[in-house]
Structure 1
Amino acid sequence: MKFEWQFSTPEAEGMDINVLQELDGYLKQHKYRLVNSVLVVKNGKIVVEKYYNQFHEFSRNPIKSIWKSILAIAAGICLDKGLIQSLDEPIGTHLKEFAEDRHPFHKIITIRHLLTMSSGIYWNGGVHYHTPMMQQMMRTNDWINHIADIEMDSVPGRTFHYKEWDVMLLSAIIGKVYGGTSYDLVQEFLYKPLEIISDEWPQSPCGFSYTVMKGEEKSDLSARDLAKIGLLMLGEGTFNGHRIISSDFTKQIINPSFENNSQGSLANNQFYGYLWWLTSDGYHGRGFGGQELNIVPESNYISVVQATPSTSSKAYGDINENILMKAIL
């Protein structure tokens, strides 16, 4: 059955229209010229939908690292379908480069460590996260082999460190167990059922999907499509009456784990689940340049903010916090 969006007024869904009417003025006051889309879904219905810079409901915007959160769902689909037996499988089971004794810690890195960004592989994001280590990797033909040669700086599972290596290795594993790429699996078992449109993600020279580098991402999604991901998560793995991923895994995704929270709050009272940011309000997919998918289960609330990424790595979390969330009665 084709999915059809329902629409409602903010007042009917328990939101203060007077607060929401401050949105345009807030964007202008803060000179947020690069914001393209602001969408609020309350109780499953669209109550706010605003577009700027000639964007509209069908316009797609780079989601950047929200891709990571989508990849976590893909890992759960692999688990549900028996393509992987356990999140505690060593990654060397699927990536031979990590089963070759290059480093004593390699054989104890698991899929769960990749999901929690606690592999222990050394990472330096550079100034303003310009990722010179990624640039160095991209000059090689075998990216997995390159990552396997990088020094370890901690025992796997001991320390959270936000980095690209872990999600790239996870993407490679998902592709291998599916017999294609992680994009192929996401397209078949997530995007098609949710009626999401996305171009094919780029592939590394050694054949795994990725979509994190400036100018190369093809993971452009509309604001409404991102909101569908939110509906799937609020529905604990169901969408439009169909089961996409197990309820148990959606709960695991948004639970803080020992690996990335044993040190207490990571930053600004944020924690990390399986490639999703966690706060006291709910959970969030976030991407470079101000891409946001915010989900607040207690209020049955989803918001999406999209913006054109810039080199300054602008963030717009205050739009959700200072306007959209404050409208909830």
Structure 2
Amino acid sequence: MRHRFPRLSRLGASLALALTASIANLRADDMTPRQQRQPCGSPAALDDGWVTASPESVGMDSERLCGIAARLSLRSSEVHSVVVARHGRLVFEQYFSGIDQPWGQPEGRTEFTATTKHDMRSATKSVTALLVGIAIDRKLIASANEPVVKFFPEHHQVKSAGWDAITLHHLLTMSSGIKWDETLPWTDPNNDEPHLAFDADPIGYVLAKPIAAPPDTLWTYNGGGTDLLGNIIEQVSGKSLEAFAREVLFEPLGITDFEWKTYKNGKIAAASGLRLRPRDAAKIGQLVLDHGRWKEQQIVPAEWMDQSIAPHFQAVGYFGGTLFYGHQWWVGRSFAAGKEIRWAGAFGWGGQRIIAVPDLDLVMMTTAAQYGQPKEGLAAMDILTNIIIPAVRDAH
């Protein structure tokens, strides 16, 4: 037919091209001018305190950042969000749909956006440590060298021998030496963590734990110590942990939409219960870079912020033993662009990561649902090392 009626064939082709162009024009007309020129990962304007900018304006390669989604797809990562800030400006954010296990809610698929809150899980510990520093700065607590038992006289009868030597510093650095194990299955009665959620007196449970080693000699990951710190803050402030955090940390950061969940026993989960928008969580990372300042306000004392990300212990047995531990903050490094890059991070189960890279003045925040996966959090560190850090085009 094409050979017999060449003019009809050419006419049909012309009509098809015209129809395709018309559809494309209609689609373009349906888009707002901003959508038509919106580059990959361009941050939304939410009036939440962040100044937004293009990656190029802060010395980063936007094309390289746009490869994040493809890189994540290689690992079937179940990452829900990636947020990047540099030089105090938000330059990239990307959100994905996925199966989530939000605290206290049934598992289900969620379409994540810039305004969707996400569980922070144990990244909450890093926030609680900042609140301790603020409480010390406000003279509510004398110092991190205060003995823990001073704040719990009503538990004198249950505390194990050796607790008198344990200070807030030991809880902050997870070097208290108490016998504690969170590595067992959640249903195992020997897993200490569920006791924080279900025991009528979780404080008594923690203080009754035997001492396995003298303080400052053994590092053991321990959410029970963090819950003690949260309770101490409530005692000295006369407020709930959530109310104190709102007043001294979140409101100054312009964080208005957050949750701090409680356990089944009604106690606030100081070690794991925080839910934040990823953009707001990234502000915590910016505090690290700016030595506790946000905009023109000193929110966390500079000395405390710097001490929090200084290595105090080798985190033996975690993530291959390559990490150090500060005041409830992880300290590590990536090998990128032919050199080692230092960073500090708040880590939460399932792939929640707030990473501050001081030498590059860079923040990366990710949320995910890699719960129970043997390499949870790997995807976040992969894109940090292989895409985000190499996307930096200058050295400062």
Cα distance in 2 for partners of 1:266, 1:39 equals 23
| Correspondence 1:269 to 2:314 | no
The answer on whether the counterparts of 2:119 and 2:276 sit within 8 Å (CA) in structure 1 is yes
The answer on whether the counterparts of 2:53 and 2:91 sit within 8 Å (CA) in structure 1 is yes
Q: CA 1:102 to 1:9, structure 2 compared with 1: closer, same or farther past 3 Å?
A: closer
- Kindly state the Cα deviation for residue 56 of structure 1 after the two structures are TM-superposed: 1.1
- Kindly state the Cα deviation for residue 237 of structure 1 after the two structures are TM-superposed: 1.5
The partner residue of 1:288 within 340, 346, 349 is: 349
After superposition, where does 1:79-94 map in structure 2 within 5 Å?
79-94=136-151
SS in 1 for 2:390: helix
Greater Rg over alpha carbons, structure? 2
Cα distance in 2 for partners of 1:250, 1:65 equals 18
Pick which of 234-243 and 65-74 moved more: 234-243
Q: Which residue in 1 is equivalent to 2:239? A: 180
Cα distance in 2 for partners of 1:277, 1:223 equals 19
After superposition, where does 1:224-243 map in structure 2 within 5 Å?
224-243=279-298
The partner residue of 1:278 within 331, 338, 351 is: 331
After superposition, give the CA deviation of every residue in 1:102-141 in whole Å (9 maximum; x if it has no partner).
Answer: 4331101100001000111111123467773222454421
Alignment RMSD, CA only? 2.4
Letter in 1 for 2:134: I
After superposition, give the CA deviation of every residue in 1:172-192 in whole Å (9 maximum; x if it has no partner).
Answer: 111111112322211110011
After superposition, give the CA deviation of every residue in 1:214-271 in whole Å (9 maximum; x if it has no partner).
Answer: xxx4x211111011112222221211211212111111111112xx249899844310
- Kindly state the Cα deviation for residue 322 of structure 1 after the two structures are TM-superposed: 1.9
| Correspondence 1:254 to 2:301 | no
Pick which of 7-16 and 133-142 moved more: 133-142
Letter in 2 for 1:171: G
- Kindly state the Cα deviation for residue 16 of structure 1 after the two structures are TM-superposed: 2.4
Q: Which residue in 1 is equivalent to 2:3? A: none
Pick which of 176-185 and 94-103 moved more: 94-103
| Correspondence 1:321 to 2:366 | no
Q: CA 1:10 to 1:138, structure 2 compared with 1: closer, same or farther past 3 Å?
A: closer
The answer on whether the counterparts of 1:61 and 1:306 sit within 8 Å (CA) in structure 2 is yes
Cα distance in 2 for partners of 1:111, 1:204 equals 26
TM-score of the superposition, structure 2-length normalised?
A: 0.75
Letter in 2 for 1:274: H
| Correspondence 1:52 to 2:99 | no
Cα distance in 2 for partners of 1:223, 1:289 equals 14
Letter in 2 for 1:27: L
- Greater RCO structure (CA 8 Å; 6+ sep): 1
| Correspondence 1:21 to 2:62 | no
- Kindly state the Cα deviation for residue 298 of structure 1 after the two structures are TM-superposed: 1.3
- Kindly state the Cα deviation for residue 296 of structure 1 after the two structures are TM-superposed: 0.7
Q: Which residue in 1 is equivalent to 2:124? A: 67
Q: Which residue in 2 is equivalent to 1:7? A: 52
The answer on whether the counterparts of 1:291 and 1:307 sit within 8 Å (CA) in structure 2 is yes
Cα distance in 2 for partners of 1:222, 1:106 equals 38
Q: Extract unaligned runs of 5+ from structure 1.
A: none
| Correspondence 1:166 to 2:210 | no
- Kindly state the Cα deviation for residue 21 of structure 1 after the two structures are TM-superposed: 2.5
Q: CA 1:130 to 1:185, structure 2 compared with 1: closer, same or farther past 3 Å?
A: farther
Cα distance in 2 for partners of 1:237, 1:300 equals 14
Cα distance in 2 for partners of 1:212, 1:103 equals 22
After superposition, give the CA deviation of every residue in 1:70-97 in whole Å (9 maximum; x if it has no partner).
Answer: 0110000010000000110101111125
Letter in 2 for 1:84: I
SS in 2 for 1:286: strand
Letter in 1 for 2:308: I
Cα distance in 1 for partners of 2:363, 2:245 equals 21
SS in 2 for 1:123: coil
The answer on whether the counterparts of 2:352 and 2:368 sit within 8 Å (CA) in structure 1 is yes
Letter in 2 for 1:201: K
The partner residue of 1:124 within 181, 184, 205 is: 181
Q: CA 1:129 to 1:157, structure 2 compared with 1: closer, same or farther past 3 Å?
A: farther
Q: Which residue in 2 is equivalent to 1:198? A: 258
Higher strand share: 2
Cα distance in 2 for partners of 1:306, 1:139 equals 27
Q: CA 1:76 to 1:102, structure 2 compared with 1: closer, same or farther past 3 Å?
A: closer
Aligned residues: 320
After superposition, give the CA deviation of every residue in 1:149-188 in whole Å (9 maximum; x if it has no partner).
Answer: 2221111221111111111111111111111232221111
The answer on whether the counterparts of 1:42 and 1:301 sit within 8 Å (CA) in structure 2 is yes
Pick which of 19-28 and 295-304 moved more: 19-28
